[in-house]
A and B are shown apart, each in its own frame.
Chain A
């Protein structure tokens, strides 16, 4: 008995590795280098885990498989379908052998299938493929009722038992995940149904793809690795459809629905387990079957016949495809296998390409498929409980962190940067001339700046989510207005600060609406103009310096400067006959109360859009530019800092105080000569900049600082179409500063956008250029 106990402990360790191999095999696809590497590693672990006392037959079998993998897959070489099929057949044998060893039974010798190309051959000793296992969570008896009602005939593959509750997960987050997942699944279902009537609807396919994609991402965040990989398969199917390499036929739609059913069951179970209304147990799901069906649909895009009829490589199914779980006979089929009296896994033996994962009910005896709830299985027959195993494979390397913690980390890093520069710039240190010290200080500086970059990167998220919302918007707008519009997304992976992403959404919606509404012409008009019927809106993001640049480009009718001007004059936004260059005319559309639409539509054209957009973008310390050619389209270009936490600033001195002007707003600077200034009505001062008069604002006076500096440096700043010359005493330099909130007490001080801690530890105020530039209105009133 001691021997048996020892063996069972070792078998337990081996079983765990074997389980991982099974799971990896379930998801491995031919030609994937990653899975080959993982498998290689796992086999190494397996060989290490096998004790000397293991039966020779088992060791031989494992070695044979490992060698097979090494020769065929080669660790780095992509595994062939043949190699995977070999392993798929090997895996159940190994499980069985392990179970037999654990139970002290004789181990059958591994006999590879005909190693020829006939990968479909049933594994050795398997008389007939076994029917799928019953759902492990449910009581064993009513097996036929347990599985989902598949919307499509699925391949006859056993179910995969997966852990529902991820380890160490936050119940609140799981709850959120469930809520969101249920929403997504609702969307998926509706999308699939819509696709059924119109299989070519690319918008729906895209929406479905995104839904699965989001689901996958969420599952990854929750470390639901199995779910994530499963969703990935469905996402790939839709990706093919989205790219047009696959027509979504009835069977494909059936597979997607079946996949959605699986997800739904999982989420329902997860929700129940999180809520505590169900015990934390593993759940059996027909994941291998759906994956297999998915792959088949993908492999035969054109001739994707009914899925169930395509099992050329699957042994003749015993069970009718639609009834996934025939009840009792499982026990009978168990006996058919090999010399082992009780154990062999007929279940796992059948699928050649998508093997059964390790945790699939390890023995055919029905009650043994219930590792958790059922009576204890005979003498360590199960190599390991399925619990915990799936989560270990390819666990998502993502950690959810409270944003407050992140923010305080970034605050601290900001302080560290300041402290570092205080040390580095300390006169004593500079004067010491000690090379050791200066080298150490240089290293400190390097590490600090790396640390800051890393810390900032923590808050970065891709803009994808925001972009994808626009796809839906464009689709709806096009439908509503009878236009044909395609949205092209570029640079979705561009990352920027989480807080900025949220704030960008509304302006983008406004601008996309504008493009779809005013920009893109109706199809007939486009054809008449010699353009394709379908209009294109391109949404593009990229990094440029410390900024994210987003371009919204349409190939519509463009903005007519004459019309804009006329409208602006009608509305009293600009005086008739004012001299404006083309850019300034285009900028007029950002003026409050401006609208170019001839008819006011439901969507835009009420003149509330673009001025709000500009204000929002300014609020993000960004800027927006417009370019348009009549007849060929309009481009809006947004530049927004990647983060709200740090800006590059121009440090200026005014009456002994230092102020920061965001560099993005600075156009140029020059030393003021008295003759440059012209006075209007003895009050308003203007400076000639490149042939244009720009109002001068003396910062000393504006900021209530004493003394007059007759000459100083002019910094020309701009916000939107407005510019202004700020007169400062001197320029001190450029510096990246961490922006600090000035606090409630100064909320009404609109001259300042915030504060920054400067190199010497003192506080410098950041000027709010948008507010300073707007002062024109107030001065005008005063002058009138």
Chain B
């Protein structure tokens, strides 16, 4: 598990890049199981705002997280590019867990070499860098590489009102 201060450097490799508004993000393809279209979400009461609820993924009930809300970006109406990235992460119990992540649109799978990746700059506490593992510069743009593990597994309890 990476420390919460974002000290883990992103490794070179293939990343799935996606957009939230104008911002570009990347997650390692190793955790991506599939990408599905947005489907009806069943809300679960008293959960943090970014936990939108649960969906039926071919018989499995999986939680869905809205990354936009989680990152404090303004809400945006869903369109036909809005989609859910289904990730498979090791849960607290060790068993792998599926999560859905709502993003504005999926961009591409990009290969980042070690030279492309820079460590996360110091934002002076202005933004939450817990899940940032590095910044990749390639094809003339900057992609924030993120680690969804602390984001999905820990965030609900971190921001849960009950704790």
- The residues of A with any CB-CB pair to B shorter than 8 Å are 411-412, 414-415, 418, 657, 702-705, 740-746, 748-749, 751-752, 755, 757, 761-765
Contact = CB atoms under 8 A, between A and B. Distances in A.
A748 B44 contact: no
Chain B interface main SS type: mixed
Nearest to A705: B45
Interface residues of B, number: 29
Contacts of B61: 740-743, 755, 757, 763
B42 A744 contact: no
B47 A751 contact: no
Which of A411, A744, A749, A752 is the most central at the interface, judged by chain B CB atoms within 10 Å of its CB? A744
Contact of A763 (B42, B45, B99): B42
A704 to B, nearest CB: 4
B51 interface: yes
Contact of B43 (A657, A702, A748): A657
Contact of A762 (B42, B46, B59, B91): B42
B38 to A, nearest CB: 13
Contacts of B162: 748
Interface of B: 40, 42-47, 51, 53-56, 58-63, 91-93, 97, 99, 152-153, 156-157, 160, 162
A67 B161 CA distance: 85
A743 B45 contact: no
Given A411-B59, A744-B153, A745-B63, A755 B42 contact: yes
Nearest to A751: B45
A764 B160 CA distance: 23
Contacts of B51: 745
A471 B89 CA distance: 47
A418 to B, nearest CB: 7
Given A743-B97, A745-B156, A755-B54, 5 more contacts: A740-B60, A743-B61, A745-B63, A763-B54, A763-B56
A743 B63 contact: yes
Contacts, number: 72
Given A743-B97, A744-B91, A755-B54, A414 B42 contact: no
Given A657-B43, A704-B46, A764-B42, A745 B56 contact: no
Contacts of A751: 45-46
Nearest to B163: A748
A415 B58 contact: yes
Contacts of A705: 45
Nearest to A749: B44
A743 B44 contact: no
10 closest cross-chain pairs (CB), A and B: A415-B59, A703-B45, A763-B42, A740-B61, A755-B61, A704-B45, A745-B63, A763-B54, A757-B56, A763-B56
A702 to B, nearest CB: 7
A533 B156 CA distance: 61
A752 B40 CA distance: 19
A657 B97 contact: no
A742 B156 CA distance: 14
Nearest to A755: B61
Contacts of B59: 411-412, 414-415, 418, 740, 757
Contacts of B153: 744-745
**B60, B61, B92, B97: which has the most chain A beta carbons within 10 Å?**
B61
B23 to A, nearest CB: 25
B156 to A, nearest CB: 5
6 contacts: A742-B54, A755-B42, A757-B61, A762-B40, A762-B56, A765-B44
Nearest to A701: B45
A763 B152 CA distance: 20
Contacts of A764: 42
B99 to A, nearest CB: 7
B43 to A, nearest CB: 7
Contacts of B157: 748
A752 B54 CA distance: 13
A743 B88 CA distance: 13
Contacts of A749: 44-47
A507 to B, nearest CB: 25
Contacts of B160: 748
Nearest to A414: B59
A702 B44 CA distance: 12
A167 to B, nearest CB: 35
Contacts of B60: 740
Contacts of B53: 763
Q: Which of A743, A755, A763: most chain B CB closer than 10 A?
A: A763
Given A757-B61, A763-B54, A763-B61, A744 B45 contact: no
Nearest to A418: B59
Contacts of B156: 745
Nearest to B54: A763
A657 B42 contact: yes
A529 B53 CA distance: 62
A765 B44 CA distance: 8
A743 B62 contact: yes
Contacts of A742: 44, 54, 61, 63
